Amino acid sequence: MEQGFRYYNPVSLVFGEDALTSILRQLNERRALLVASEGGMQRPLIQQLLNVSTNIVSVVSAIRPNPELQDLQEILDTLPSEEYEVIIAVGGGSVIDSAKAISLRRRGDKKLQLGQLLKQGAESVNQSIPIIAVPTTTGSGSEVTPWATIWDSEACRKYSLHRSCLWPEAAICDPQLSVTLSRELTMQTGLDALSHALESIWNRNANPVTIRHAVSAAKRLFTTLPLIVEDLENPNLRTQMMLGSLEAGLAFSNTGTSLAHSISYYLTLKHNIPHGVACSFSLPEIVDAVAGKDSTVDEALTAIFGSTTSKPLRAVWDALELRKSFNEFGITKVELPSLYEIAELSGRSKNSILDLRTFCIRENLWS
């Protein structure tokens, strides 16, 4: 880890206050586009928002999980040509990521070609519509990062749209909004958040500020996850999960993810494994592989788990009946070259202090 470092996160945070009041305060009479999923439109918060605010001039409600390039292009092509001063994104990571892609279309800019932008790099784009991000899940951290994940499953590609204009203006985190989350989604999004926290620790871009956020996040998520899956509506546990996810976001907003995420993209694209499962199955083995390699990482792991062994993590994985090896997903070694290609294309593996190819052939991942 370098001695000198920079940390930057410009997102205004509101945590634990009533979401409706906070959104209206942040909106401040600006003309808004509301972005949500179809299911999300049934939320009382959205109905109340539409009832009390005359500032919401359009609604996009067709957002699906793992936003696809084609779907987003269709939304951009059919979006009414209004002048939106702000976008309110209420939903999980897919909704907030989609809002980021939509935010690039400014008034009069009817021909925004997202595919071209993703393939050529979005360097020319430096203006977007400000976003008020209101997470309803506790995993993606997208409310405090400047990037969005966009999938092109037909071409078997995962894109990261990363621009400094994509930091949300504000993140309104009301744990109450996550109380209705199913057991499955609570687990998947919680594992994603835990992965973000740990991935920013065995990371070449880590610094004392990111480590501090990451340790706090991982401790919170690791202890809360086994409890909340048995007590989904517990408000205190929901608060811990949302705070953990937010802290993980604050950590990886400055480091990026690393090894576990780079491996996950192949599992999601080729085997349809949900992101939270795909990006977390390898965590116990990474802990074993990284232990003893770097004193800062060792200190952070000890602060979280009490030691640098993967034992506590494996115990939670067993209790939650989670998979820990490629075998358990039906993946064979023949697939490794394709996995490496997708992992290396994502650029995430370079953030890791461990080597992707050395790690992927560890025996435990195949037994």
Draw the binding track, 68-87, toward Fe ion (x: CB under 5 A; -: no contact).
--------------------
User: By CB under 5 A, how many residues form the interface with Fe ion?
Assistant: 2
Cβ-closest residue to Fe ion?
A: 192
If you search the block for the tokens 């490794």, which residue do you land on? 336
Instruction: Give residue 319's identity as a one-letter amino acid code.
Output: A
Q: Does 199 bind Fe ion (CB under 5 A)?
A: no
Nearer to Fe ion, 140 or 239 (CB): 140
Nearer to Fe ion, 237 or 279 (CB): 279
Residues 261/195, Cβ–Cβ less than 8 Å: yes
Q: How far is the CB of 274 from Fe ion (least distance, A)?
A: 11
Q: How far is the CB of 39 from Fe ion (least distance, A)?
A: 21
| Dihedral over Cα of 48, 49, 54, 58: its sign | negative
Distances (CA, A) of 25 to 33, 51, 202, 239, 246: 16, 16, 39, 22, 21
Q: Using the rule CB under 5 A, give the single segment among 4-12, 74-82, 184-192, 356-364 that binds Fe ion.
A: 184-192
Distance in angstroms (rounded) separating the CA atoms of residues 115 and 152: 9
Nearer to Fe ion, 22 or 280 (CB): 280
Among 192, 199, 247, 285, binds Fe ion (CB under 5 A): 192
Nearer to Fe ion, 143 or 192 (CB): 192
Q: How far is the CB of 64 from Fe ion (least distance, A)?
A: 17
The DSSP annotation for 98-124 comes to HHHHHTT--TT-TT--HHHHHHH-STT
Q: Using the rule CB under 5 A, give the single segment among 15-23, 185-193, 202-210, 243-251 that binds Fe ion.
A: 185-193
Nearer to Fe ion, 192 or 247 (CB): 192
Nearer to Fe ion, 174 or 192 (CB): 192
Q: Using the rule CB under 5 A, give the single segment among 50-58, 151-159, 186-194, 335-343 that binds Fe ion.
A: 186-194
> Which of 22, 10, 8 shows the shortest CA–CA distance to 173?
22
Q: Using the rule CB under 5 A, give the single segment among 111-119, 151-159, 277-285, 343-351 that binds Fe ion.
A: 277-285
Q: Which residues pair with 172 in a beta bridge?
A: 14
Distance in angstroms (rounded) separating the CA atoms of residues 364 and 248: 27
Q: How far is the CB of 281 from Fe ion (least distance, A)?
A: 13
Nearer to Fe ion, 192 or 285 (CB): 192
Three-state SS letters, 239-301: HHHHHHHHHHHHHHHHHCCCHHHHHHHHHHHHHCCCHHHHCCCCHHHHHHHHCCCCHHHHHHH
Q: Using the rule CB under 5 A, give the single segment among 7-15, 167-175, 191-199, 241-249 that binds Fe ion.
A: 191-199
Q: Using the rule CB under 5 A, give the single segment among 80-88, 177-185, 189-197, 213-221 that binds Fe ion.
A: 189-197
Helices and strands counted in the chain (H then E): 15, 8
> Which of 92, 150, 157 shows the shortest CA–CA distance to 122?
150
> Which of 188, 242, 201 shows the shortest CA–CA distance to 220?
242
Nearer to Fe ion, 19 or 141 (CB): 141
Q: Which residues pair with 349 in a beta bridge?
A: none
Nearer to Fe ion, 45 or 279 (CB): 279
Q: How far is the CB of 3 from Fe ion (least distance, A)?
A: 29
Distances (CA, A) of 303 to 41, 219, 314: 41, 8, 17
Which residues contact residue 9 at a Cβ distance below 8 angstroms, ignoring those fewer than 6 apart?
A: 144, 167, 250, 253, 254
Q: Using the rule CB under 5 A, give the single segment among 170-178, 271-279, 323-331, 353-361 that binds Fe ion.
A: 271-279
Sites of contact with Fe ion (CB under 5 A): 192, 279
